[in-house]
Amino acid sequence: MTEPLIYELSAAGRRGALLPAIDVPETALPAELLRDDLDLPEVSEMQVIRHFVKLSQMNHAIDKGFYPLGSCTMKYNPKFNEDMARLPGFALLHPLQDQDSVQGALALMYTLQTWLAEISGFKAVSLAPAAGAQGEFSGILMIRKYHQERGDTKRTKILVPNSAHGTNPATVTMAGFQAVELPSDANGDVDLAALRAACDDTVAGMMITVPSTLGLFEGHILDVIRAVHDCGGLMYMDGANMNALMGIVKPGELGFDVMHYNLHKTFSTPHGGGGPGSGPVAVGDKLKPYLPGPVVEIVEPASDEDDAPLYGLRMPEKSIGRMKAFYGNFGMHVRAYAYIRIHGADGLYNVSRHAVLNANYLRVKLRDTYRVPYDRICAHEFVVEGHFPDVENVHALDISKRLIDFGVHPPTNYFPLIVPEALMIEPTETEDKATLDNFVEVMKTIAAEAREHPDRLRSAPHTTPVSRLDEVRAAKQLVLCCRPIPEWAE
């Protein structure tokens, strides 16, 4: 089953949406400035609906089945949150209105800032970053500006463990620092000796993911933080995996200076097929003046209990600046607000408890079939090796593709880089025991097939609209657009 391109459904003169007739006198159009042609499809509304519905059916999604994509927290996305973000008072609100006319939106953002600060144990939050990667970037820019304002300009390095997300070293470079990779020890923790050797007065800070991308709570996190602070560096926590930590530990209380959230992971604002995300950044006292802005503050306290205060948007005093136009991905803030409000403190604590319970259950059930390189109690996810010592030429990729035939989205594969043939499995708390048990059975079936019918894995998937793709051709013979672009004469 494949679907034609929308352009292939087009026929000259066909219309979809209709607009009202013009109700003002016309003004002459400036002929010399107008374009000759506009190469968009000409299709009816029903064609558009059928086309995109058919396309949607070619996707795997949380709403269709298990999606244990490690480090992405593919949990259930409550339908309610979608309705709330679409309330006209939010969806039809212009970002540059006068402050008096947007007090409801500002109140929501202020409250969300407060809750995110409380959950992480930090002093202040900015909702400005548009995604986790932007949260990281703003955090490292704050560290940079903090040192510069103190005249401490020789700090040019940021330490990054080798288990880090790829965004971490890329962020470091983007902010004008040099990334220094740190090895992991035999337990999958940061190698403390290597860390201490790397700590000197050229270190601006360290970025670390907690729990790590191996799904492990860092065994000596307080020692790591102390080592970096002792040499004058600041500690950045990548909060991509906060789904394991709510009500379990507050990163700000451990001594971290700054972290970012991924609202689309922990607070289930949906992933949208690859965004929009939202990456609020939380800081302690040291970095508070540097937050990206604007942030929401109380401009005038409430005069009495029944009254609301007056909220306003302010740039923090030494802000690193704006991360995007306006104030972050507000639609995601509404969803995260709804999610936190429905859960409360106990609910969020239960989310993290069950995320960790589910991951450990799968780890224990799978460890006799797949090698678990760091086999200790894990957090919300764990990593297995997707190969077998007694089978040649069956790889993590083949296991992944075969899982698709059983209706399961493959785990994150070939990451983290420090585990050979890595399959990173994150079940999330919203999956029930029956789904987990089924996944275990499927993984065991695939392991048996690897020995008896390895070609079934190598040629998988067999049940999808298309088979494995020629990715080399895609990169060599680049086709990024289906329409001919005119040769413009300069």
Of 144, 430, 117, which Cα lies nearest the Cα of 261?
117
Q: Kindly state the helix (H) or strand (E) to which residue 181 belongs, with its residue range.
A: strand 178-182
Residue 151: count other Cβ atoms within 10 Å of its Cβ: 6
| 18/390 with CB nearer other proteins | 18
Instruction: Compute the C-alpha angle 252/258/262, nearest 5°.
Output: 95
| 148/393 with CB nearer other proteins | 148
CB of 209 to other proteins, least distance (A): 14
Per the document, the length of the chain is 490
Parallel, antiparallel, or unpaired for β 234-239 and 281-283?
unpaired
| 18/389 with CB nearer other proteins | 18
| 101/393 with CB nearer other proteins | 101
Residue 368: count other Cβ atoms within 10 Å of its Cβ: 10
Region of 416 (left: φ > 0; alpha: ψ -120 to 50; beta: rest) is beta
DSSP state of 489: -
Specify burial of residue 232 (Cβ count, 10 A radius: 0-12, 13-18, 19+): middle
CB of 196 to other proteins, least distance (A): 19
CB of 162 to other proteins, least distance (A): 10
CB of 489 to other proteins, least distance (A): 9
Of 339, 265, 330, which Cα lies nearest the Cα of 81?
339
Specify burial of residue 83 (Cβ count, 10 A radius: 0-12, 13-18, 19+): exposed
CB of 275 to other proteins, least distance (A): 4
| 367/451 with CB nearer other proteins | 367
| 9/194 with CB nearer other proteins | 9
| 389/472 with CB nearer other proteins | 472
CB of 352 to other proteins, least distance (A): 9
Q: How far apart (Å, rounded) are the C-alpha atoms in residues 216 and 237?
A: 14
State residue 408 phi and psi, 5-degree precision: -115, 135
Of 268, 261, 249, 163, which Cα lies nearest the Cα of 206?
163
CB of 131 to other proteins, least distance (A): 5
Q: Are 310 and 166 in contact (CB under 8 A)?
A: no
CB of 365 to other proteins, least distance (A): 7
Residues whose CB falls within 8 Å of the CB of residue 241, separated by 6 or more in sequence, listed in order? 71, 73, 209, 210, 211, 212, 213, 265, 379, 380, 381
CB of 389 to other proteins, least distance (A): 25
CB of 390 to other proteins, least distance (A): 26
| 345/451 with CB nearer other proteins | 345
Specify burial of residue 443 (Cβ count, 10 A radius: 0-12, 13-18, 19+): buried
